[in-house]
Structure 1
């Protein structure tokens, strides 16, 4: 089997799995992503390791669960010793670069302890994390954040060169609208979401990042590469440039997905999250009617720019030696289940789109089809290693290569459940519950039929997805389902205790050490000759 030369690894931020036409959205037409699905394999049940940007991405880049790598929330550093995609692919001669967001911060304490200079070659790589920072931009630059970073942002410099005035055109132009009297209307305020951003469409973040990805690919020439094109949108601030800001109206929205039953006697943790300001805002009458046009328009804009990028890859012939992967780091409640943002484990939050187009003939058997196997974000690293011919790292990686599925084979021992988790110490919900900082933990195990959520210190949640696919009826405290809860809790414990924590020695090394002990003359327990 020939090796894949290049990988275009596309990630949209906060993109729900069901907001693409190839996943069934009846009104949001995404023909270019649909075309990618027609040329590759669409995974219909893909799940992230955490429904929050930072830990989800840390797992995607390391191939390890949050429980293992410890970067449990945004701005919680990935420990210095954790290996990421770049560490695995760079020895194979693959330049591994990011264009856009990673939402991760360096382990500065670990770097200082080992004398790693932040501006040195090693310091840059471990700070990014593991990527070459061709165009690193997390897309969150209000004045306070920008000032803390020294006020420098390449996108702002580029906007000023295009004639956009001010110290922070990201905020004032790309993520703000203009009122009838010329007043500035911030995109941070949800009530402004359906207004057009002040920036021209061709100068917006999505257009800029697509352009920079193409420039990176052009600069690489014939050298192998992985380009992580990590779009900042449709993540908030929810504001889109014209003409995308008003392409969609109420007639094109998915029905609101919530029930009064959910609020009748909710699980205490769920109740605390429903009580947070963002959830109350999205539960107000009319809120999603203002936000959804921007959210859907931003997705449409991404699809249009990807279409131009895909066409260029075909025109240059690069599509023939490039694996293209499209996914998201988590979903978005958008008012469903009385929630805003993401964080908890309903399907709209924890389930994501995943499309892989492998140009090699071995993948022809699945081209244009869908796969219903339960897959996880941590499966991407081992998939990329196998595709590029890099050595496996089974002693460290907790995901499984998707290559058999891409070739039309489902291993008999494929997983029967997926895992996700959250550290909610950083939320107002924890304060409402008066939970200790180290106790605010939750874990989800989702099998074919059941979804079980374990909250440390609180009752669990249990959903029967066969009879309640809407996830409206919580069976977590129903005595009739105690046996099922016990079974799922045991399965969760098994998954957590199966984590890979012997990361500095391979299985071959363990076997060699065992043989060495027998041959070294060290004798334990022998009675004598």
Structure 2
């Protein structure tokens, strides 16, 4: 098999699986995303391991489920000893570079305990999710009465200041705000302002700025093969975009919400509090959707245009022949579907993601422009990248599966179900006045076998269950149905089997374990033998014979 030299791993934040024209959206136009789909394979049933930024990304970057790596929510630190994609690839002589967002919170206490200096090479990699940093910009420069959400210096904010944008936080006042009729700041945090153009030159907005960082990286000579994780901030909120993208779409382009009154009739208690939070209430209003969704579509259109620049560059320089390209997202966005805003739960608009993989090798020629309906997880990318670089994935560490067979037209034995989980213990709705739960109980687990989707809720709640064959829009929760208890029990067996996997046995491979079998006897530890004739001659020889002296 021919060798891939480089990998361009492109992630968008909060990009829905169905907001691409190649995925069938009736009004959204994404010609450059479609360009990649025509060159590769589009996976139609790809699911994240958690529908929240930080936890999902840590699964992408480790190739492990959330309760394996433990960083279960935004700003939960990733354990200092967790092995990352960069660690796996460096063994293969491949550099791993970051351009953009990780939403990773560093295990500062663990680093201090081990004496890892943040400014050392190893310390810097541990602090940045295993990547070497070209530029890290998490795009979370929100500021409130207690200071900034992200205490780290923002390279993008500093660049804006250098371009002459005034104030200490032009990320908010210019890149993510407009100007109202009175000349005041129309903050992008307020959904009513989504119709405004952002008060910034288009070329200075976040997405073009990050593309230029990527182009600079791609233009440099590199001595070693590389993976470049280009991680865009958009189309994540604040939902505001500069001209001309702000009015490219309008209310007529907004598809009707996927929601039903049945969902509000005696809903699951956890679902109920999410529906009734501020985002859920806002996106349940048609006027909010008609203001916000065109801006969201404009953000996607800008992302698509910038992605086209990358494809043009790779094609013009001949790099397409040696570069695997992956396009995906860390989770979706409800946008009013199921009476919800944001992400958080396990309906498809939230937990299902776009995934397109272009493999330049000749072995992938037969699958170009096709789709694959296999059940795929975000953690499958890490072993796919390791295998693409000519190394066997460490399957005692990486919990995903190599997707190469699908790229090359094969039909491998595959998984029965996909899994996702959500720890909402850090949210206000888990606390007093709402669900009033202890942190260990504020957790949800999803298992989906391609038809039946079960959500198990800790804390003594009943499960949720959807039959996506009879109810593809996931309107009817069958979790309390007496007629479906056998189906629930079957899916709980899958969930329990998954939960019992040896996830923490990461320091020794399966092959090494098999090689240990019977070795203790070969080094003299013999347990249970009664007489010498029960042993092989060479084992017997080491414990037989006469002593040199008799001290009795």
TM-score by length of 2: 0.94
CA distance in 1, matches of 2:221, 2:166: 33
CA distance in 2, matches of 1:471, 1:128: 38
Deviation at 1:142, TM superposition (A): 2.1
CA change 1:98–1:253 in 2 (3 A) is same
Please show how residues 348-497 of structure 1 align to structure 2 within 5 Å.
348-411=349-412, 413-431=413-431, 432-456=434-458, 457-497=460-500
- SS of 1:215's partner is helix
Contact kept? 2:10, 2:326, Cα under 8 Å: yes
Deviation at 1:369, TM superposition (A): 0.3
Deviation at 1:448, TM superposition (A): 1.8
- SS of 1:226's partner is strand
The equivalent residue for 1:91 is: 91
The equivalent residue for 1:261 is: 262
Is 1:203 aligned to 2:208, yes or no?
Answer: no
Is 1:518 aligned to 2:521, yes or no?
Answer: yes
Contact kept? 1:68, 1:499, Cα under 8 Å: no
Gaps of 5+ in 1: none
The equivalent residue for 2:292 is: 291
Contact kept? 1:459, 1:477, Cα under 8 Å: yes
Please show how residues 183-222 of structure 1 align to structure 2 within 5 Å.
183-221=184-222
The equivalent residue for 1:72 is: 72
CA distance in 2, matches of 1:10, 1:453: 30
Deviation at 1:499, TM superposition (A): 4.5
Please show how residues 99-114 of structure 1 align to structure 2 within 5 Å.
99-114=99-114
Is 1:161 aligned to 2:162, yes or no?
Answer: yes
CA change 1:48–1:115 in 2 (3 A) is same
The equivalent residue for 2:231 is: 230
- What does the per-residue CA deviation read over 1:428-472, in whole Å, with 9 as the maximum and x for residues that have no partner? 331211111111111000112100000012000010110000100
Report which stretch shifted further, 231-240 or 152-161. Answer: 152-161
- SS of 1:286's partner is helix
CA distance in 2, matches of 1:220, 1:131: 19
Is 1:24 aligned to 2:24, yes or no?
Answer: yes
Contact kept? 2:136, 2:155, Cα under 8 Å: no
How many residue pairs were aligned?
528
CA distance in 2, matches of 1:164, 1:470: 45
CA distance in 2, matches of 1:40, 1:373: 15
- SS of 2:493's partner is helix
Is 1:506 aligned to 2:503, yes or no?
Answer: no
- SS of 1:191's partner is helix
CA change 1:5–1:164 in 2 (3 A) is same
CA change 1:484–1:354 in 2 (3 A) is same
Contact kept? 1:398, 1:499, Cα under 8 Å: no
The equivalent residue for 2:245 is: 244
Deviation at 1:154, TM superposition (A): 1.7
Deviation at 1:156, TM superposition (A): 1.9
Contact kept? 1:159, 1:169, Cα under 8 Å: yes
- SS of 1:425's partner is coil
CA distance in 1, matches of 2:205, 2:6: 27
Deviation at 1:166, TM superposition (A): 1.7
CA change 1:134–1:437 in 2 (3 A) is same
The equivalent residue for 2:53 is: 53
CA distance in 2, matches of 1:148, 1:496: 33
Deviation at 1:483, TM superposition (A): 0.6
Deviation at 1:222, TM superposition (A): 5.3
Deviation at 1:370, TM superposition (A): 0.3
Contact kept? 1:146, 1:152, Cα under 8 Å: no
TM-score by length of 1: 0.98
CA distance in 2, matches of 1:291, 1:73: 26
- SS of 2:448's partner is strand
CA distance in 2, matches of 1:225, 1:200: 32
CA change 1:24–1:146 in 2 (3 A) is farther
Report which stretch shifted further, 296-305 or 245-254. Answer: 245-254
Report which stretch shifted further, 228-237 or 384-393. Answer: 384-393
- What does the per-residue CA deviation read over 1:238-288, in whole Å, with 9 as the maximum and x for residues that have no partner? 110111111111211121110000001101111111121111111124111
- SS of 2:117's partner is coil
CA change 1:478–1:500 in 2 (3 A) is same
CA distance in 2, matches of 1:286, 1:525: 78
Deviation at 1:217, TM superposition (A): 1.6
CA distance in 1, matches of 2:59, 2:150: 25
Report which stretch shifted further, 237-246 or 178-187. Answer: 178-187
CA distance in 1, matches of 2:320, 2:18: 26
- What does the per-residue CA deviation read over 1:27-79, in whole Å, with 9 as the maximum and x for residues that have no partner? 11100000100000000000000000011000011110002111100110111
The equivalent residue for 2:180 is: 179
- What does the per-residue CA deviation read over 1:463-493, in whole Å, with 9 as the maximum and x for residues that have no partner? 0110000100000001011111111111111
Deviation at 1:146, TM superposition (A): 7.1
Please show how residues 139-158 of structure 1 align to structure 2 within 5 Å.
139-144=139-144, 152-158=153-159
CA distance in 2, matches of 1:273, 1:463: 18
Contact kept? 2:140, 2:149, Cα under 8 Å: no
- What does the per-residue CA deviation read over 1:304-324, in whole Å, with 9 as the maximum and x for residues that have no partner? 011111001100111110000
- What does the per-residue CA deviation read over 1:132-162, in whole Å, with 9 as the maximum and x for residues that have no partner? 1111111010235875766732212222222
- What does the per-residue CA deviation read over 1:352-406, in whole Å, with 9 as the maximum and x for residues that have no partner? 0000000100011111000000000000000000000124201111100000010
- SS of 1:240's partner is coil
